[in-house]
A and B are shown apart, each in its own frame.
Chain A
Amino acid sequence: MAYCGRDLLALPPEARAREGVFLAFQYPVEIPGVNNVYLMKASLNAIRKHRGEPELDAVEFLKLVKERVRLVQMDDSFLGRAVNEGFSGGEKKRNEIFQMAVLEPRLAILDETDSGLDIDALKIVASGVNHLRGPDRAIVLITHYQRLLDYIVPDVVHVLSGGRIVRSGDRELARTLEQRGYDWLKEVAAA
């Protein structure tokens, strides 16, 4: 699995992060006692150091996180809480998108970011992701449902089955899939 000319799977998780890969977890881990904003500071500085950039000072850093936390419509108190501790399902997902917004990855893999979200939280998460779309960033969105794709309109859709891409297309492929079900694809594949 090549990423920017490097074997991604050969890298330990921290090296992947420092090379610009961000993984938004389906089930973000609760870490009592570790403050959200401290983690982001340590994380961002580790990545910047790797890139040969100077660490952000406290003022710059605070300005950045306060700006980015707005993207997921959370107030500043969110920053001072322990990482995901006691967060609702929606808050955990919003926290993942907030982290992504702070770390500005080149490649973001969002693993079922829509699971367990009510419609309001889904809209917030989608709007956060849409803000982060850009020519310098690839986003891989993993989902089982069309619903998320109504809010985050994909450029390309790949259908994965048994660990392999069995079909690729544009946004219409996801719509067809939603109408006809996965069995349709299996029949097409078998024919």
Chain B
Amino acid sequence: MNQPAVLTGNFVDEFERVAKNLPGGGEFAGRRAAIERFRALGLPTLRQEAWKYTNVTPLARRAFRAATREDAATAAATLAARLPEYAQGIRLVFENGQWREDLSHRGDLPAGVSLRVLFDVLRDAPSEAARMAAGEANPFQALNDAFYTDGVLVTLAPGAQVEPPIHLVFLASGGTEALAIHPRVLIRAGSGARARIVETYHGTNETATLTNAVTEISAGEGAHIEHYLVQDESAGAFHVGHLYIEQARASSVTSHAIALGGLLARRDIEVRLAAEQAGVILNGLYLTAGRQHVDHHTRIDHLAPRTASDEFYRGVLNGSSRAVFNGRVLVHPKAFKTDARQSNHNLLLSGDAEVDTKPELEIYADDVKCSHGATVGQLDADALFYLRSRGLDETAARGLLTYAFAADVIGRIGIESLRRELIRRVVGRLPGGELVRGML
């Protein structure tokens, strides 16, 4: 049988075109090795298990131009108007992946907290901009390695604590051609450090963009990190994101992943609980409508004893949209007394919407506690009747129950301004939302 040709789109040609202008040039920091890796791998296809339900081959049919500093030229006032309301205080703003100093403020950072723009890091100390988890067989991460020009490096010294949330806002304003944006966020937390980081991806107009983001968190011993991802890109946007979390002893990381926008969005979250008593919480919510496609793949490796993971994902699907959830949990041989919980519940508001949900538990240790549950369903008929018996019409009752289903995830968000804004966004997106707003 003939091996089907590897699909690489125009990414390799584009690399050759821009390589000399990338920070450090084409040979720098393994960029060329990365593009070779991508050339060999090609874009994922439906034949690969991890991409079985998500077709990214349309990316090969478009010519994406790599965004450069010239693509960050929107008037400050125009862009400022598109910033989310909650992104106040400490914030770094990027337009098409390029830092907008004029819209950013770092504020007075506490001692031991450093917030650096990757463009500067690439110039001054390039080795610090490299990923921890480099080299694996993921073509999108290879593209990020090859093309990335900017992003953020957050460094927290041991014991450093920063109380206000750190906002990283990535605005995709697009351009006349389809743009590819490869941002990178690195969060390095020393032992006992604490911080809350909010990554927001917004689209400001309807042109096609590809955002291919990589985020890494390393949490030192006893560190405590809350990480928020809000993906609310435009209706024509492709969004691929990889979040990699590595945790030391007794560290705790909470990730909230909220997916509202984009035409096609794929989010991979990989967690390595590398030492005893490390604990991770993964919360997630996706709302889809129209022809949107949203895919979440999570993988948690319990590598040491007494590690804990708690995963809570919900989805609300309307129109002919499609969602994929794949939650893989691996309990390695030494990881006795692992406590792993996972749930993924989906609400289908339309007969044409479709969900593929798959928990994957692999347990190689004794004396562990693991549970998982996945459901796909409609609104509870008894609850609907109860609300209607109190005088609410069917549309309002449905709206209220749908909102409540989603609010269960939003309610876990610890930053009040963000929670309020997301509630507003979620209510605005749901059928019967106007009626629900009147009730809240």
Question: In the bound complex, do residue B390 and residue A99 qualify as a contact, i.e. CB atoms below 8 Å apart?
Answer: yes
A32 proximal to B (CB < 8 A)? yes
Main secondary structure of the interface of B (DSSP, over half): helix
Binds B, one of A42-50, A122-130, A143-151, A152-160: A42-50
Partner of B387, one of A12, A32, A39: A39
B162 proximal to A (CB < 8 A)? no
CA distance A13 to B382 in the complex (A): 12
CA distance A47 to B391 in the complex (A): 6
Partner of A17, one of B388, B396, B407, B435: B388
A-B contact count (CB 8 A): 74
Q: For A50, what are the chain B residues with a Cβ–Cβ distance below 8 Å?
A: 391
B1 proximal to A (CB < 8 A)? no
CA distance A60 to B439 in the complex (A): 15
Q: For A78, what are the chain B residues with a Cβ–Cβ distance below 8 Å?
A: none
Size of the B side of the interface (Cβ < 8 Å), in residues, is 27
A14 proximal to B (CB < 8 A)? yes
Question: In the bound complex, do residue B403 and residue A33 qualify as a contact, i.e. CB atoms below 8 Å apart?
Answer: yes
Interface bracket on A: 20 to 34
Question: In the bound complex, do residue A14 and residue B388 qualify as a contact, i.e. CB atoms below 8 Å apart?
Answer: yes
Main secondary structure of the interface of A (DSSP, over half): helix
B440 proximal to A (CB < 8 A)? yes
Q: For B407, what are the chain A residues with a Cβ–Cβ distance below 8 Å?
A: 33
A38 proximal to B (CB < 8 A)? yes
B107 proximal to A (CB < 8 A)? no
Query: Which residue among B393, B396, B404, B411 has the maximum number of chain A CB atoms within 10 Å of its CB?
Result: B404
Q: A33-B408, A46-B393 are in contact. List 20 more A-B contacts (CB 8 A).
A: A13-B385, A13-B389, A14-B391, A14-B392, A16-B389, A17-B388, A18-B391, A28-B386, A29-B380, A29-B383, A29-B385, A32-B408, A34-B404, A42-B390, A42-B391, A42-B392, A42-B396, A42-B400, A42-B435, A50-B391
Could you jot down 24 A-B contacts, CB within 8 Å?
A: A12-B394, A13-B385, A14-B388, A14-B393, A17-B388, A18-B391, A25-B386, A31-B387, A31-B404, A32-B408, A33-B405, A33-B408, A39-B387, A39-B400, A41-B439, A42-B390, A42-B396, A42-B438, A42-B439, A43-B390, A43-B392, A50-B391, A99-B390, A103-B390
